[in-house]
Amino acid sequence: MQTTQYASLPTEQRQRCEVWTRVMGYHRPVSQFNIGKRAEHRERRHFTENAASR
């Protein structure tokens, strides 16, 4: 069983993280995507260096 290194913050101290991604050659926040584009973004497979080196 692994132990968690980080303690979670109380809800009132947390901040919303804005996620940006590159779309059609420019960067844009995911929060401004339409419903279809948000669904597409959730289904994407993201690159990880560890998985690529196997």
Q: Is 35 helix (H, G, I), strand (E, B) or coil?
A: helix
Query: What token pair was written down for 49?
Result: 């260096």
Q: What stretches of 1-54 adopt beta strand conformation (E)?
A: 20-23, 26-29
| DSSP state letter for 49 | H
Pick from 18, 22, 48: nearest CA to 37 = 22
For 10-29, what is each residue's pLDDT tens digit?
888 888 889 898 877 889 99
CA angle 51, 15, 25 (to 5 degrees): 50
> Is pTM, for the whole model, over 0.85?
no
pLDDT higher than 90, residue 8: no
For 35-50, what is each residue's pLDDT tens digit?
998 898 889 887 777 7
Position 46, amino acid: H
